[in-house]
Structure 1
């Protein structure tokens, strides 16, 4: 919103000396919230206060972005050159920290979103397909809700020996399936990564 309002505010500053002075005072007054945001961001980073996983990058990045916009408006209101030679390094460091805060916030949000999705999935496992898995070798899955049944030898050409029920399909990527037990818990649950080849036989069903 501040970036979109920049042309309007800068244009009003050129209409008269009074508007230009008011704009300069506004830019100077922006120093107080910048300092407050930086202090809160550092406090959140050192865990002095609890600002959540997004608090530190948003507070620090917001403070630097506000300072940068205030400096741009001040230069536009006074007609001074920007950046002056002494500000080029500071401007480069500010932009680099802003980019770092953006990646930091996105990474923390992705981690938080994935954890929330896993917790929600653990309470709604019925939405995932149920899996009946036949294997040639015993997997020894001592998981709650998973039942292992030895298969009879029907003929010399049959190499499937064990059947596992009580599994659900979590995801599939390339030639691998990610299976979870029916009573999976997101905090301590296990995931079986199974290659899709001639050594397994999979049947999906509802339930």
Structure 2
């Protein structure tokens, strides 16, 4: 019955709900105005049941707009996550120095630094920069996938130092 529009199929249900309600409400409004001749005084008075119907139609349209916005935001987020996974090698690589071991995922290479008087005792490589927000760094291990990977979240404190290198 319906042909799926590539990339926009998630918007069909809310558009049908809102468009159907708006079309039905407008059709009812036009039919009420066309079928009966009103005097100028009667035009200003709309029966309570009719006003209630217009309120319900308006609520359906607003509900469908919220539904469509939520669906669009979810699809946009999933698309960006897939793009991040696909293009992870282009993200900046990160070398992390820490004063103490952090127990990061096994795919991250940990090196204990034995240099005397070194401020940072542990070096981690094999990480990619994802984002910096709310004084936190979000890092992904090399080869990260949505199904098998974890996100490393580190608070920006003097206990860590990060070095960034350009991605491929």
Instruction: Name the TM tier (shorter chain).
Output: 0.7 to 0.9
Deviation at 1:106, TM superposition (A): 0.7
2:94 aligns with 131
Q: How does 1:1-207 map to 2 (within 5 A)?
A: 52-75=9-32, 77=34, 81=43, 83-144=46-107, 146-155=108-117, 158-207=118-167
TM (norm. structure 2) is: 0.80
Give the Å deviation of 1:77: 4.4
The whole-number CA distance in structure 1 between the counterparts of 2:46 and 2:62 is 19
The structure that is helix-richer by fraction is: 1
Q: Count how many residue pairs are aligned between Structure 1 and Structure 2.
A: 155
CA distance in 1, matches of 2:114, 2:145: 33
C-alpha separation between the residues in 1 aligned to 2:30 and 2:121?
A: 75
**Distance in 2 of aligned mates of 1:143 and 1:54:** 41
Conserved 8 A contact 2:97-2:162? yes
Measured in 1, the distance between the counterparts of 2:83 and 2:111 equals: 31
Shift of 1:71: 2.9
CA distance in 2, matches of 1:188, 1:97: 41
* Greater mean alpha carbon deviation, residues 165-174 or residues 66-75: 66-75
Structure 1 length normalisation: TM-score? 0.66
CA RMSD of aligned residues (A): 2.3
Give 1 or 2: higher strand fraction: 2
Change (3 A) 1:147 1:66: same
**Alpha-carbon offset, residue 54 of structure 1:** 2.8
CA distance in 1, matches of 2:104, 2:115: 21
Q: Deviations over 1:39-70 (max 9, x none)?
A: x9xxxxxxxxxx95333222211110111222
Where do 5+ consecutive residues of structure 1 fail to align? Answer: 1-39, 41-50
1:2-50 CA deviation, whole Å, 9 max, x = no partner?
Answer: xxxxxxxxxxxxxxxxxxxxxxxxxxxxxxxxxxxxxx9xxxxxxxxxx
